A and B are shown apart, each in its own frame.
Chain A
Amino acid sequence: MLKRIYLYSLAGICMPLSLAAQIDSLQLQQVEVVGKKKEIVPTQSQVELSGKALDRQRGLSLGEMLQQLPGVTALQTGPTIFKPVVQGMYGQRVLIMNNGVRQESQQWGSEHAPEIDPFIADKLTVVKGASSVRYGSDAIGGVILVDPKPLRKEKGFGGEVNLGGFSNGRSYVGSGILDYGSGKLPGLSARIQGTYRRAGNLRTPDYYLKNTGLQEYNFSYALGYLRRKAGVEIFYSQFNTRLGILSASHIGNLTDLQRAIASPVPLEASGFSYDIGRPYQKVSHELFKASAYLRTANGDKLSLTYAQQFNNRQEYDKHKPLNDSLAALDQPELELHITTRIINLAYDHHIGNNMKGSVGLSGIMQGNIYKGRYFIPNFKSYAGGVFLLEEWRQHRWTVELGLRYDYKWLQAFFYEGSILQDPQYRFANFSGALGAAYQASEHIKLRANAGTGFRPPHVSELFSNGLHHGAAAVEIGDKNLRQERAYNFSLSAHLQYTRWVGEVSAYYTHMDGYIYLKPVFPATLTIRGAFPTFKYTQVNANFAGIDAWASDSLSKHFSVTSKASVIYAYNQATHERLILTPPTRVENGITYNFKLGKKIVRPFVGISNTIVLHKQHLPDSSDYAPAPPGYSLWNAQAGMSVKMGKQSLDITLSCTNALNERYRDYLDRFRYYANAVGRNVGIRLKMSF
Chain B
Amino acid sequence: MKKITITILTIMLSGAMFVACKKKDDPKPSNPQNPNEQEQITTLKLILTEDGTTNVSTFQFADLDGPGGNPPTQDNIVLSANKTYHGRIVLLDQTKNPVDSVSNEVEEKKDIHEFFFTPAGVNITSTYTDFDTHGVPVGLYPDFATGAASTGTLKITLKHQPGLKPTSGNGDITIGETDIEVTFNVSVL
- Chain A residues close to B by CB (< 8 Å): 180, 182-185, 188, 190, 221, 223, 234, 236, 250-253, 255-256, 259, 267-268, 286, 288, 290, 308, 310, 318-319, 321-324, 326, 337, 339, 367-374, 377-380, 411, 413-415, 417-418, 420, 422, 465-467, 474, 476, 524-531
Name the one of A234, A251, A378, A414 contacting B177, with C-beta atoms under 8 angstroms. Answer: A251
Sorted nearest first, the 10 A-B pairs with minimum C-beta distance are A252-B178, A529-B181, A322-B105, A374-B35, A378-B29, A378-B32, A526-B67, A252-B177, A380-B29, A367-B29
Q: Which residues of B contact A380 (CB under 8 A)?
A: 29-30
Name the one of A256, A414, A527 contacting B61, with C-beta atoms under 8 angstroms. Answer: A527
Q: Which residues of A contact B189 (CB under 8 A)?
A: none
Residue ID in chain B nearest A256 by CB atoms: B178
Whether A379 pairs with B68 at a CB distance below 8 angstroms is: no
Given contacts A288-B20, A467-B67, contact A415 B5 (CB under 8 A): no
Q: Which residues of B contact A531 (CB under 8 A)?
A: 67
Whether B71 pairs with A528 at a CB distance below 8 angstroms is: no
Contacts A182-B1, A252-B179, A373-B38 known; list 19 others, CB within 8 Å.
A182-B5, A184-B5, A190-B12, A236-B15, A256-B177, A268-B164, A308-B19, A368-B29, A369-B26, A369-B27, A370-B32, A378-B32, A413-B32, A415-B32, A467-B67, A524-B67, A525-B63, A527-B43, A529-B180
**Distance of A526 Cα from B71 Cα, bound (Å):** 8
Does chain A have a CB within 8 A of B44?
yes
* Interface class of chain A by DSSP: strand
Does chain A have a CB within 8 A of B175?
yes
Name the one of B12, B71, B102, B182 contacting A322, with C-beta atoms under 8 angstroms. Answer: B102
Q: Which residues of B contact A411 (CB under 8 A)?
A: 30
Which of B33, B71, B176 is packed against the most chain A CB atoms within 10 Å?
B33
Given contacts A288-B16, A370-B32, contact A528 B68 (CB under 8 A): no
A to B CB contacts below 8 Å, 15 in the list:
A182-B5, A184-B2, A223-B12, A252-B181, A253-B181, A267-B175, A290-B16, A319-B160, A322-B102, A339-B23, A373-B38, A374-B35, A526-B72, A527-B63, A527-B181
Does chain A have a CB within 8 A of B53?
no
**Distance of A142 Cα from B162 Cα, bound (Å):** 44
Q: Which residues of A contact B41 (CB under 8 A)?
A: 527-528
Residue ID in chain B nearest A312 by CB atoms: B23
Given contacts A367-B29, A374-B35, A474-B68, contact A286 B19 (CB under 8 A): yes
Instruction: Give the tally of cross-chain contacts (CB within 8 A).
Output: 153
Whether A326 pairs with B39 at a CB distance below 8 angstroms is: yes
Residue ID in chain A nearest B64 by CB atoms: A417
Q: Which residues of A contact B164 (CB under 8 A)?
A: 268
Whether A183 pairs with B68 at a CB distance below 8 angstroms is: no
Whether B34 pairs with A418 at a CB distance below 8 angstroms is: yes
Interface string of B52-83 (1 = CB under 8 A from A): 00000000010101111101100000000000
Residue ID in chain B nearest A371 by CB atoms: B33
**Distance of A323 Cα from B36 Cα, bound (Å):** 15
Whether A528 pairs with B180 at a CB distance below 8 angstroms is: yes
Which of A180, A251, A323, A370 is packed against the most chain B CB atoms within 10 Å?
A323
CB distance from B75 to the nearest CB of A (A): 14
Whether B39 pairs with A188 at a CB distance below 8 angstroms is: no
- Chain B residues close to A by CB (< 8 Å): 1-2, 5, 8-9, 12-13, 15-16, 19-20, 23, 26-36, 38-39, 41-44, 61, 63, 65-69, 71-72, 100, 102, 105-106, 108-109, 157, 159-160, 162, 164, 174-182
Whether B1 pairs with A184 at a CB distance below 8 angstroms is: yes
Given contacts A184-B1, A417-B65, A531-B67, contact A253 B33 (CB under 8 A): no
Whether B32 pairs with A420 at a CB distance below 8 angstroms is: yes
Residue ID in chain A nearest B102 by CB atoms: A322
Q: Which residues of A contact B23 (CB under 8 A)?
A: 310, 339
**Distance of A190 Cα from B13 Cα, bound (Å):** 12
**Distance of A370 Cα from B30 Cα, bound (Å):** 11
CB distance from A194 to the nearest CB of B (A): 13
Q: Which residues of A contact B20 (CB under 8 A)?
A: 288, 308
**Distance of A377 Cα from B100 Cα, bound (Å):** 26
Q: Which residues of A contact B65 (CB under 8 A)?
A: 417
Name the one of A183, A319, A415 contacting B1, with C-beta atoms under 8 angstroms. Answer: A183
CB distance from A185 to the nearest CB of B (A): 7
Q: Which residues of A contact B162 (CB under 8 A)?
A: 319
Given contacts A465-B68, A476-B68, A527-B72, contact A221 B12 (CB under 8 A): yes
CB distance from B171 to the nearest CB of A (A): 15
**Distance of A180 Cα from B106 Cα, bound (Å):** 61
Name the one of A251, A256, A367, A370 contacting B33, with C-beta atoms under 8 angstroms. Answer: A370
Q: Which residues of A contact B39 (CB under 8 A)?
A: 321-323, 326
Whether A337 pairs with B8 at a CB distance below 8 angstroms is: no
Residue ID in chain B nearest A533 by CB atoms: B68
Name the one of A339, A370, A372, A528 contacting B179, with C-beta atoms under 8 angstroms. Answer: A528
CB distance from A475 to the nearest CB of B (A): 9
**Distance of A498 Cα from B33 Cα, bound (Å):** 65
Whether A524 pairs with B29 at a CB distance below 8 angstroms is: no
**Distance of A326 Cα from B93 Cα, bound (Å):** 14
Q: Which residues of A contact B105 (CB under 8 A)?
A: 322-324
**Distance of A369 Cα from B25 Cα, bound (Å):** 13
Q: Which residues of B contact A474 (CB under 8 A)?
A: 67-68
Whether A236 pairs with B179 at a CB distance below 8 angstroms is: no
Given contacts A370-B32, A526-B72, contact A188 B5 (CB under 8 A): yes
Residue ID in chain B nearest A190 by CB atoms: B8
**Distance of A236 Cα from B11 Cα, bound (Å):** 12
Whether A525 pairs with B102 at a CB distance below 8 angstroms is: no
